[in-house]
Amino acid sequence: MLHWGVMGLGNIAHRFVSSLAQFDEADFYAGASHNAQKREEFKEKYHPAVLYENYEEMLEDEDVDVVYIALPHGLHFKWVMESLKHGKCVLVEKPAFLTREEAITATTYAREHHLFFMEAMKTRFIPLVEVLHRQIEKGLIGDIVRVENSFTSNSMDKVSPDSYLFDQKMGGALYDVGVYNIASILDVIKSDVTHIENDATFKNGIDIHDKVTLTFANGATAYFECAIDDLQNKRSGKIIGTKGSIEMDYFYRPTSATVNYEGESQSVTRELDGDDFYSEIAAVHHGISYINYEAKRMSHQDTIDEVSLLEAIHEVTYGK
């Protein structure tokens, strides 16, 4: 039985804990939040063994085996490191970090101290994504020459003005949703990025709508759109190869896709296992149970590569 501690008790934590209840070998043991109302909500709904007013107290609890960090992006590195230093395995929400240096420091520490660490990039573990990834690796649609995807929403209209989403250090569309686009692109294009362009829209100093073009050393290209000001809620994705293509309506958690190959189209379907959190939680349990310190589908290097590109795009976008 793995005793989970949840750090940060916001909306995403509610969804995570609900998914965790599907596992016989998992126990939502502890939660931590500075907000008394949120602690009370979790107490009434999920009945954890203990709730803490601060994160440090939870980390000092020897019965906590693994920590799920669902805090604002800019707090991830500090509390990942604190969790690891207290001997806890860690699952941290995306983006795990805001800089390449942070990613390298944390993953190196986890590996050297034999602790499981993973970024909660649930897209990598969606069953249909894994099926399609295996087929791509086998050469089903040939060499990948282009990837296009979009993740837009109007989330900026649904949060309070003091939300981290509007913080100039950790807010904006790139950090909030663009990380999904980037991780999906890097999942199928295995090459260094040589050129970045971004047609970005800003409001109050943060990017709210990004249209990013990437050029890779192997000649492949990618285009993605991410936004927090868009009512259209675009979520589609397309992977184009030398022999065919794959299209998805919801690239980040698809249950169906169209494979175009040799002039024919075939629909491929695969339902979620439980919900969209289930498979990433299963990956954590598998890694810890088999004494692996990272997950194959979202390795330490995958996080380093993703965060490195996110940081590079952010620098181009903000002219740093």
Confidence at residue 160, expressed as pLDDT on a 0 to 100 scale: 85
Q: End-to-end alpha-carbon separation of the chain, Å? A: 47
Confidence at residue 196, expressed as pLDDT on a 0 to 100 scale: 99
Tokens, residue 13: 């934590």
Helix (H, G, I), strand (E, B) or coil at 201: strand
Please give the CATH number for the structural domain made up of 2-121+278-295.
3.40.50.720
Rounded Cα gap, residues 112 and 198, in angstroms: 37
Confidence at residue 31, expressed as pLDDT on a 0 to 100 scale: 98
Mean pLDDT for the stretch of residues 223-235:
96
Q: What is the C-alpha R_g of the chain?
A: 19
Confidence of residue 301 (pLDDT cuts 50, 70, 90): very high
Rounded Cα gap, residues 198 and 196, in angstroms: 7
Mean pLDDT for the stretch of residues 288-311:
96
Confidence at residue 304, expressed as pLDDT on a 0 to 100 scale: 99
Tokens, residue 174: 């790139």
Confidence of residue 320 (pLDDT cuts 50, 70, 90): confident
Helix intervals (H) in 169-254: 173, 179-188
Confidence at residue 168, expressed as pLDDT on a 0 to 100 scale: 85
Helix (H, G, I), strand (E, B) or coil at 109: helix
Q: Using one digit for the tens of pLDDT, what is the confidence trace for 171-209?
A: 999 999 999 999 999 999 999 999 999 999 999 999 999
Confidence of residue 116 (pLDDT cuts 50, 70, 90): very high
Helix (H) or strand (E) holding 94: none
Query: Domain residues of the chain, as ranges?
Result: 2-121+278-295, 127-271
Look at residue 285 and tell me whether its pLDDT is greater than 80: yes
Please give the CATH number for the structural domain made up of 127-271.
3.30.360.10
- Residue from 43, 49, 36, 34 nearest 14 by CA: 43
Tokens, residue 156: 């900026």
- Residue from 94, 90, 6 nearest 303 by CA: 94
